[in-house]
Structure 1
Amino acid sequence: MKMSSLSNSSLLGSSAKNKRNLLPIPHGTIPQPKGQDLDFVNVAYSHLIHSEWEKLEDLSSGLNPFRFKHVLLKLKKDYVLSYEFYKWVNLKKPNFHNLETHSMILHVLTKHRKFKSTQEIMKNILNSRSIELHIKLFEAILYSYRLCDSSPCVFDALFKTLAHMKKFRYATDTFCLMKDYGFLPTIESCNALMSSLLSFNRVDIVLSFYREIKKCKILPNVYTMNMVISAYCKLGNLERALEVFHDMTSMGIFPTVASYNTLIGGYSDKGLISSALKLKSSMEKNGLKRDVVTYNTLIYGYCKEGKLQDAYKVFNEMKSVEIPPNTITYNSLINGYSQLGNSAMGYELYEDMLKFGVKADIVTYNALILGFCNEGKTKKAAFVVKELDKQNLVPNSSTYYALILGQCMRKNSERAFELYKSMIRSGCYPNSKTYGILISCFCHNKDFDVAIGVLREMLGRSVVPDSAVVSELCNGLFLNGNADLAVKLRDEVDATFRG
């Protein structure tokens, strides 16, 4: 049977495969060595078990894939020597190995649970751009499986490696192939895929994969359930997230601090702080200690809602129960006060964090700069930029946005434009808000030619302008007797993003 004929269907497809008979595991074989081949294998094996690498060197010219495989088969119970021999061959003859020889060492290593070495080899193989290589590797492993007296761990290792490499389609292909032959990944490997998917915000596939896990009777653990809760929270489906949270106990899985924190984060993100606080109380009643994430999540939620007094109360409570605030704690508060126009309080918190040895990062400095610039305090913002330089932190798009905003607040369109050009030169990319404040500033100063130039640069970078900004520019042109240009410009914007 050729692997190319095997099903390569999507993981999200029908579960009919679960009901059909499993495919038989093929009995891969290789001919027995005879004559000179047999002599070579025996002599090489003898040199290896006696650590006679110099004598083995003399034999290297006579080594070929057939002989290598038989030497490895004789060594398979000694994974250390097998791996040393594999690496020695790889060093002497870099182009010598093929998928069949790779698969044999993978069997040896996984049977002895040397998964780190296994994954290193698999990553090196899978980084090749060869088409459908993951299926070809699966085939090579499958056909040498019985020959090497292997363990199902080898397939699990392949699936997990693909998950860590974030090769999602290849991982789901491999999952389907494993099911065809009656091999199922461990829940730890399933968690690795779900975690990778969550990092790319592919919550739809996370939930579909979780349903597949349940169909396959793979028992989830608390990490699995936490990711499912997180997925529902990211979708904004807090009702379903809470159901999953309550279902955990009936499954024999007890919520952890991370379980509570995930759900608290979901409620806080939606501004439902009272529900988040109830969960915090429930957490304490169940004997689980709040941690820095619990408090940071609540502080962030309050700051997002502009409730800085409540956020500060949580901050004080956090310190009273001897949970030290970290960079994330301070960043949330500094950003919150800066957004509300209280840059002085933001700077006071910054000094507080330095006093207690909490390291400021680029987010801290950006929040401070934005706070000062929002109030037109560009000199104080410039002072913070110098501090940023002292810490060897590189300004990013958010830094430039704040500085440009500060100059626009002072109606200094020329300086704002200089900062914009510096931003481009530094490799930072302006977003719609940055372009918007620049165009608006030039319109206010009736410098329509530069405003049009900025808009056209924006269109050239495929950044969609805010309709209010386009209207401001076109209305300004109309009121200044350039109605034809205003119509032309609006048509130009529409044509750029049409279809």
Structure 2
Amino acid sequence: MLEKGVRITVYSMTLVINELCKRGGVEKAKTLMGEMAGRGIEANVYTYNTLTKAYIERQDFGGVTEVLSLMKTNRVDSNVATYSLLIDWYGSSEKIEDAEKLFDEMRERGIEPDVYVYTSIINWNCRAGNMKRALFLFDDMTQRGLVPNDHTYGALINGACKAGQMEMVGILVNEMQSKGIAVNRVVYNTLIDGYCRKGMMDEAQRFRVTWKRKAWRLMSLLTAP
């Protein structure tokens, strides 16, 4: 494109950077971004998010910090996707307090969390055993008109099972199904394991049988002529 004088946009540059990152050329992608800036093509938040995601996947804390520093220097504001990436990263690194700070920061800046951000922060609180906080966030999310999905309910059910709060589990499953959200294999396995650990074998068997029937029906549909 450069040789033929084709106009390069930030969009086309970001596509190339994304492809380089997918192939493991993260440093080359960052260098390219710098070279393009010298030609007057400034990266936008989507470009930076692409690099941030790549560094997170490599578990490169230094790389993430550098990208965020570049964003600040070049006055590129973070968006919902940026915060979603960072909150999920901090949560997976067991830095729940840092994830919560980012969640508060985005709200303070007037950036409303979407269902994916809420689900992420709910999930990591559930994994840390902070069920009270997770349920508060769930209520806050629904009050703001956001619709929880199967991952949101899955996170809460997993947390409640680990806490041995099987009454809450039952409420969540019923609410999930009443909203037409299908219980997937992961949630069924979570339920079976949770009831087994509480010694509630009849309930565990009920969900095991239900899942087997559902799996059989799905298999029948897939193999039907």
TM-score, normalised with respect to structure 1: 0.40
Match of 1:322? Answer: 110
Distance 1:370 1:243 in 2: 42
Question: Is the partner of 2:192 in helix, strand or coil?
Answer: helix
1:271 is aligned, of 59, 62, 65, to 59
1:225 and 2:41 aligned:
no
Q: How many residues align?
A: 217
Question: Is the partner of 1:260 in helix, strand or coil?
Answer: helix
1:350 is aligned, of 134, 138, 150, to 138
Distance 1:326 1:411, change over 3 A: same
Distance 1:250 1:427, change over 3 A: farther
Distance 1:428 1:329, change over 3 A: farther
Question: Is the partner of 1:376 in helix, strand or coil?
Answer: coil
Q: Deviations over 1:198-234 (max 9, x none)?
A: xxxxxxxxxxxxxxx7788766532233233223334
1:372 and 2:160 aligned:
yes
Distance 1:340 1:235, change over 3 A: farther
Match of 2:203? Answer: 415
1:297 is aligned, of 47, 66, 85, to 85
Match of 2:169? Answer: 381
Identity of aligned residues (%): 30
Distance 1:418 1:234 in 2: 43
Distance 2:3 2:188 in 1: 51
1:324 CA displacement: 0.8
Question: Is the partner of 1:359 in helix, strand or coil?
Answer: coil
Alignment of 1:370-449 (within 5 A): 370-427=158-215
Distance 1:219 1:341 in 2: 53
Tell me the amino acid that sits aligned with residue 97 of structure 2. Q
Distance 2:79 2:158 in 1: 29
Distance 2:118 2:184 in 1: 20
1:415 CA displacement: 3.4
1:320 CA displacement: 0.9
Contact persistence 1:397–1:428 (CA under 8 A) = no
Distance 1:357 1:428, change over 3 A: farther
1:247 CA displacement: 2.9
How big is the alpha-carbon RMSD for the aligned residues of Structure 1 and Structure 2?
A: 2.6
Alignment of 1:49-448 (within 5 A): 220-427=8-215
1:248 CA displacement: 2.5
1:308 CA displacement: 0.6
Distance 1:229 1:413, change over 3 A: farther
Tell me the amino acid that sits aligned with residue 190 of structure 2. A
Give the greater-gyration-radius structure (CA): 1
1:323 CA displacement: 0.6
Distance 2:24 2:131 in 1: 32
Question: Is the partner of 2:215 in helix, strand or coil?
Answer: coil
Q: Deviations over 1:434-477 (max 9, x none)?
A: xxxxxxxxxxxxxxxxxxxxxxxxxxxxxxxxxxxxxxxxxxxx
Question: Is the partner of 2:157 in helix, strand or coil?
Answer: helix
Alignment of 1:41-52 (within 5 A): none
1:237 CA displacement: 4.0
Q: Deviations over 1:159-201 (max 9, x none)?
A: xxxxxxxxxxxxxxxxxxxxxxxxxxxxxxxxxxxxxxxxxxx
Tell me the amino acid that sits aligned with residue 60 of structure 2. L
Distance 1:228 1:407, change over 3 A: farther
1:346 CA displacement: 1.4
Distance 2:92 2:196 in 1: 25
Structure 1 unaligned spans of 5+: 1-212, 430-499
Match of 1:53? Answer: none
TM-score, normalised with respect to structure 2: 0.83
Distance 1:420 1:241, change over 3 A: farther
Distance 2:197 2:23 in 1: 37
Question: Is the partner of 1:254 in helix, strand or coil?
Answer: coil
Contact persistence 1:378–1:403 (CA under 8 A) = no
Tell me the amino acid that sits aligned with residue 244 of structure 1. L
Distance 1:417 1:226 in 2: 51
